[in-house]
């Protein structure tokens, strides 16, 4: 299964709200035709499992054939291969190479807040105002900053 792991701060957003966001983002009218694209929730605690189960029962039950979403408690998350990580960021080698100097451990780079933000902007997410507000905090050289600004402006 292709998945993503969501880290969150429960003081900022409740697990229940994350489940609501997830359920609102999927189309209940179609079920993925391949197992690798299945929709699933992977609770890591009994409390999360109870919340997810209650939410799924509200949309048709915890049986994936009824709700379109599997509930898989206790599963271990495994990161995909490196070439799958931060796809948009890896596509701009000038910036990615520079970040590799700042983060010599490739997984530290991939897991960093900086890489997540840059990948989002390069993918066309976020607007120029958000970008300008935080660009100086993203540990970039002036050259990389200018490259990134040019790309973000062209996509927003």
pTM of whole model > 0.75? no
| Number of domains the chain contains | 2
Whether residue 8 lies inside any domain: the answer is no
Are 94 and 140 part of one and the same domain? yes
Question: Does 144 reside within a domain?
Answer: yes
Same domain, 29 and 62: yes
pLDDT tens digit string along 86-135? 999 999 998 999 899 889 899 999 999 999 999 999 998 888 889 889 99
- 70 by Cβ neighbours in 10 Å (0-12 / 13-18 / 19+) ranks as middle
- 60 falls within a domain: yes
More confident residue, 137 or 33: 137
User: 67 and 120, same structural domain?
Assistant: no
Report the C-alpha gap between 136 and 142 in whole angstroms.
10
The per-residue pLDDT for range 50-73, each reduced to its tens digit, is: 999 999 888 765 555 556 788 999
Can you give the residue range of the structural domain that contains 115? Answer: 82-155
Asked if the structure places residue 77 within a domain, the reply is no
Closest to 58 in 3D by CA, of 23, 10, 25, 15: 23
> What average pLDDT is seen over the chain?
87
The contacts of residue 9 (CB under 8 Å, 6+ apart) are none
């Amino acid at each position: 299964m292709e998945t993503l792991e969501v880290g969150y701060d429960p003081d900022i957003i409740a697990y229940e709200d994350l489940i609501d966001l997830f359920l609102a983002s999927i189309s209940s009218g179609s079920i993925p035709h391949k197992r690798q694209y299945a929709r699933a929730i992977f609770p890591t605690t009994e409390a999360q499992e109870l919340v997810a189960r209650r939410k799924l029962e509200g949309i048709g039950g915890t049986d994936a054939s009824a709700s379109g979403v599997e509930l898989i408690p206790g599963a271990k998350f495994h990161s995909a291969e490196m070439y799958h990580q931060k796809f948009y960021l890896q596509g701009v080698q000038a910036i990615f190479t520079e970040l590799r100097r700042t983060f010599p451990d490739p997984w530290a780079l991939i897991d960093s807040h900086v890489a997540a933000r840059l990948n989002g902007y390069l993918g066309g997410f976020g607007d120029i105002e958000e970008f300008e507000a935080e660009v100086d905090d993203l540990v970039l050289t002036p050259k990389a900053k200018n490259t990134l600004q040019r790309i973000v402006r062209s996509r927003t």
